[in-house]
Amino acid sequence: MLDNIRIVLVQTFHPGNIGQAARAMKTMGLTNLVLVNPRCFPDAEATRLAAGAEDVVESARVVSDLKDAVADCVQVVGASARLRSMPLPHYAEPEDMAREVTHNAAHDPVALVFGRERSGLTNDEINCCSHQVSIPANPEYGILNLSQAVQVLAYEVFRAWRHRPDSSFQHQTPSNGRPPTREQLEHFHAHLQQVMQESGFLTQPHARTEAQLQALFARAQPSRRELSLLRGFLSAVAPK
């Protein structure tokens, strides 16, 4: 199940942080590392600071876009201290995030996404996520190093995994159905946008209608079957 939990680092500037993040991951049983446009990788500093987790660094997958890193994931949690004007479902406590992540990871890939050392994740990158999580810290100085943030969330995930329900539960399909992947949701939103435009529903391009609907479906968390039902409805009502 831990193999289904993916750590994604976006545009990491210092290669040493990649090695330290890999070390933080391995201590908590996580080995699936994806790097989005790292500034310098592979790099000897990343390997040196991995300090026993060199295998995690060496097996890391490098991609050019965050969408490529999470397309097959059913849940994507972006670590962010800043709440956007149109926030996604938000975990104020990493413990709550970890319980849901380990539940979904029993059946499908999930991802925890961390942004740049200085500026974190952009709004567009947050929109690639299904949830946000923040780490409670001293309000007067709540700054965590990238690898420290990875360590905290990886620990919560490992802790939730250790305290998971009995093994028989792990092999059951969730009662509300399997959640869709990010790629499936992206296709749904593209389909919805097309129907709204063709029907004349979208008449004010700056009204944030699409963003509001994306937020609505993010909160609703439809299953794959429900998403298929919605797409069938869109096909039926689309202008001929």
Q: Kindly report the CATH number assigned to the domain that includes residue 161.
A: 3.40.1280.10
**What is the bridge-based pairing of β-strands 61-63 and 110-114?**
unpaired
CB 69 within 8 A of CB 109: no
CB 153 within 8 A of CB 79: yes
What mean pLDDT value characterizes the chain?
A: 88
pLDDT tens for each residue of 22-78: 999 999 999 999 999 999 999 999 999 999 999 999 999 999 999 999 999 999 999
CATH of the domain at 207: 1.10.8.590
pLDDT tens for each residue of 98-131: 999 999 999 999 999 999 998 899 989 998 999 9
Residues 64 and 137 in one domain: yes
Coil/strand/helix, residue 94:
helix
Residues 219 and 112 in one domain: no
Tally of structural domains, the chain: 2
DSSP state of 3: G
Of 161, 41, 23, 36, nearest to 103 (Cα)? 161
Q: Which of the four pLDDT bands, split at 50, 70 and 90, describes residue 170?
A: very low
Residues 70 and 141 in one domain: yes
Does a structural domain hold residue 175? Answer: no
Q: Of the residues 116, 137, 170, which one is the last residue of a structural domain? A: 170
Q: Of the residues 170, 198, 225, which one is the last residue of a structural domain? A: 170
